[in-house]
Amino acid sequence: MYPKYCENQDENFVYLLSENVKIDATGVLVRNKRGVWKKVANFPIQIKHLIRNANDDVFRIVQLGNDKELELDEPQYIILSNNDFASAAKFRTALYKKKRMFKGNNDDLIEILEVMPAVDESVYVEKLGWNNDAHAYFFSNVAIKDGGVLKPDEFGLVKVGNKSFFMPYVDSITGGVVKDDVADSFQYFENNEITFNKWFQLLLDAHKHYCILPTCFMIASIFRDILFDELKFMPILYVKGVRGSGKSSIIRNLTAVFGKPQKEVSLRGNQNTPKSMARMLNQKSNSMVWFDEYHNGIVGNVQGMLQSMYDGAGYQKASFSNDNKVDSVDVQSSLVLTSNYLPENEIFFTRTILVQANETSKTPQQREAFKKLIEIERGGLSCICAELLTYRKLIEERFKGMYDTLFEYFFNRLPGIDTRFLDNMAGILAPAMILLDEKKIRMEKLNFAKGLITMAEENIQEQFRVINGKISNSNFWDVVQTLFYREIIKKGRDLKFLREKYKIAIRLKLIYEKYEKEVGSNAKSQSEIRNSIIKSDFFVCTKDVRFLSDEVLPNGKTKLTNPTSSLILDYQKLSSETGVKFD
């Protein structure tokens, strides 16, 4: 039982811990004041390990029963807190869970604890993901260190470097049962067949270009602490799209990289409090947490907390102490929001990376790729996260230089745009650009790095146009694009894709009225705009087309207009020449 600590043992397996406490194969005995030995437990007790958390709370792994090699009984293990040892009554209650009885009093318990041999100490792993103390990444079932997989022992202890860490997420003591949904979805699954490159090609086939910036955000999230230490902020990914556009599917596929697809947290109905939401974010470090159904009616304190997550701040409240301290929950994961609406709060909006998924029709090839994604997710995709983690040292060394290079590029290319937009994009793009530059990953094409920068530049311009009200000097199509993003110009009512390939019909009169209202006295005349369109390469013809009206029929369907004279345009040429996107 105590071979490392006790020399006083005889052939009957008696371990004399002090003159008043001894343990044999049948239990624990304490000498009373009259010098009589009394048995306080009908089983041996050993403290196997001590665990300490960040608040200096102490937990002990306690063995109840004999060592296995004695073959007298099968030992049981239990983790007890300091509070469980506070009194004989609490100790008795804790042991009752294992159907064991303690018959001693408070003095007996104190006597036993005082003479228990010293044991090794471990650090309690407080949250999943990156652990700066261990310089390792903790899934619920293993730790990843420098590309190696470290598995915990039967007590949930894992040695990382010269320190020992206790992993509480998978309860090894009770047979490896995962304790909760968060731990279950954040497990490491070994899979040598799946690589980042193979997975991303499927993701791209399923979701097209809409998944590219979110994937860069996911990569940045794995190295969030590096980004945050340098920049002191972490942008929020905001994916906006109509029902059926695939926005939720994109995020669900990305979160599978951390184990299994993560569950979204709904913001509908304002049922979540800042405190509960911050705690959700605080469960993980260098990961992604997804809040769905963001809407502009979110109550002020929740809206304020979402905004503060950009700066890494979570829930805060005054403590009950007399020293004016504030109890806080720091945020160490990246925030993803999905919504059908654009944010109306401008300050909040500038803290986001906006991705608009507007395409609802999916090709057979997209559906097949998505089906394959779902199939491989069943086996767990944390191997992709582990693969990217092998490049952490490279990201640490090159992040500042790559960020500075990207920011300078955007700054020179996009004069007049709020530098926060440039900061946000340069920050989330830098890790992916480093890996592309070093040929550690491949994203679609050999020259994709250049294409990625161009896409990011266009994204910054689009988001700036959406949020910036001062667009009076913008050209007609820039204003149209902004109004489309604001849902003032709508598909079906103001413009319409036709059955002919790549053709689009526009009701110029209606669109011009909205353009003129937005721009005011700086608006060009309708005839000037019409003439420029007719002379362009993307003009096809004029034609009568029926659009959706504002009138709803008794059967719930929207009434169509009478055939209306419209301009028919080649959408591919229009988009290429003007930069507008309506799909």
Alpha-carbon span 478 to 475, nearest angstrom: 5
Q: Which of 229, 203, 205 is nearest to 216 (CA)?
A: 203
Residue 519 has pLDDT above 60, yes or no: yes
Alpha-carbon span 505 to 565, nearest angstrom: 9
Q: What is the pLDDT of residue 326?
A: 39
Q: The domain 196-465: what is its CATH number?
A: 3.40.50
Q: Which residue has the higher pLDDT, 81 or 184?
A: 81
Alpha-carbon span 286 to 573, nearest angstrom: 42
Q: What is the pLDDT of residue 428?
A: 97
Residue 1 has pLDDT above 60, yes or no: no
**Sheet bearing 76-81, strands edge to edge:** 76-81, 58-64, 45-52, 121-124, 163-166, 157-160
Alpha-carbon span 235 to 425, nearest angstrom: 8
Q: Which residue has the higher pLDDT, 6 or 333?
A: 333
**Antiparallel, parallel or unpaired: β 45-52 and 157-160:** unpaired
For residues 374-413, b (16+ Cβ closer than 10 Å) or e, as one string?
eebbeebbbbbbbbbbebbebbeebbeebbeebbeebeee
Report whether 138 contacts 123 (CB < 8 A): no
Q: Which of 335, 329, 331, 236 is nearest to 288 (CA)?
A: 335
Q: What is the pLDDT of residue 447?
A: 53
Q: What is the pLDDT of residue 474?
A: 56
Alpha-carbon span 308 to 301, nearest angstrom: 10
Taking only the tens place, the pLDDT of each residue in 44-54 is 888 989 999 88
Taking only the tens place, the pLDDT of each residue in 282-334 is 788 999 989 988 887 776 777 777 888 888 775 554 333 444 443 456 788 99
Report whether 210 contacts 414 (CB < 8 A): no
Q: What is the pLDDT of residue 322?
A: 42
Q: What is the pLDDT of residue 68?
A: 67
Angstrom CA distances, 46 to 42, 65, 77, 129, 279, stand at 13, 8, 10, 32, 35
Select the highest-mean-pLDDT range: 72-86, 216-230, 303-317.
216-230
Q: Which residue has the higher pLDDT, 244 or 10?
A: 244
Alpha helices in 414-555 (DSSP H): 419-437, 448-467, 476-485, 508-519, 526-534
Alpha-carbon span 176 to 142, nearest angstrom: 12
Provide CB contacts within 8 A for 544, sequence distance 6+: 563, 564, 565, 566
Provide CB contacts within 8 A for 354, sequence distance 6+: 238, 240, 342, 459, 462, 463, 466
Six-digit token pair at 106? 């408070």
Provide CB contacts within 8 A for 358, sequence distance 6+: 241, 242, 245, 581, 582, 583
Q: pLDDT-derived band of residue 271, with 50, 70 and 90 as boundaries?
A: low
Report whether 78 contacts 72 (CB < 8 A): no
Share of the chain above pLDDT 70, in %: 87
- Encoded amino acid at 73, one letter: D
The DSSP element (H or E) to which 371 belongs, if any, is: helix 364-377
Taking only the tens place, the pLDDT of each residue in 542-578 is 999 999 988 877 777 888 889 999 999 999 888 877 7
Share of the chain above pLDDT 90, in %: 47
Q: pLDDT-derived band of residue 166, with 50, 70 and 90 as boundaries?
A: very high
Provide CB contacts within 8 A for 478, sequence distance 6+: 465, 471, 579
* Domain spans in the chain, listed from the N-terminal domain onward: 15-119, 128-185, 196-465, 485-578
Select the highest-mean-pLDDT range: 23-27, 470-474, 496-500.
496-500
Taking only the tens place, the pLDDT of each residue in 102-152 is 999 999 999 898 888 888 999 999 889 999 999 999 999 999 999 899 999
Q: What is the pLDDT of residue 134?
A: 94
Residue 338 has pLDDT above 60, yes or no: yes
Taking only the tens place, the pLDDT of each residue in 87-113 is 999 999 999 888 888 999 999 999 898
Q: pLDDT-derived band of residue 390, with 50, 70 and 90 as boundaries?
A: very high
Report whether 431 contacts 219 (CB < 8 A): yes
Residue 172 has pLDDT above 80, yes or no: no
Residue whose token pair is 């006790």 = 6
Helices 382-389, 196-207: axis angle to 10 degrees equals 120
Angstrom CA distances, 78 to 155, 307, 571, stand at 9, 42, 67
- Encoded amino acid at 115, one letter: V
Q: What is the pLDDT of residue 407?
A: 96
Alpha-carbon span 169 to 178, nearest angstrom: 6
Average pLDDT of the chain to the nearest whole number: 85
Q: pLDDT-derived band of residue 270, with 50, 70 and 90 as boundaries?
A: low
User: How buried is 498 (Cβ within 10 angstroms: 0-12 exposed, 13-18 middle, 19+ buried)?
Assistant: middle
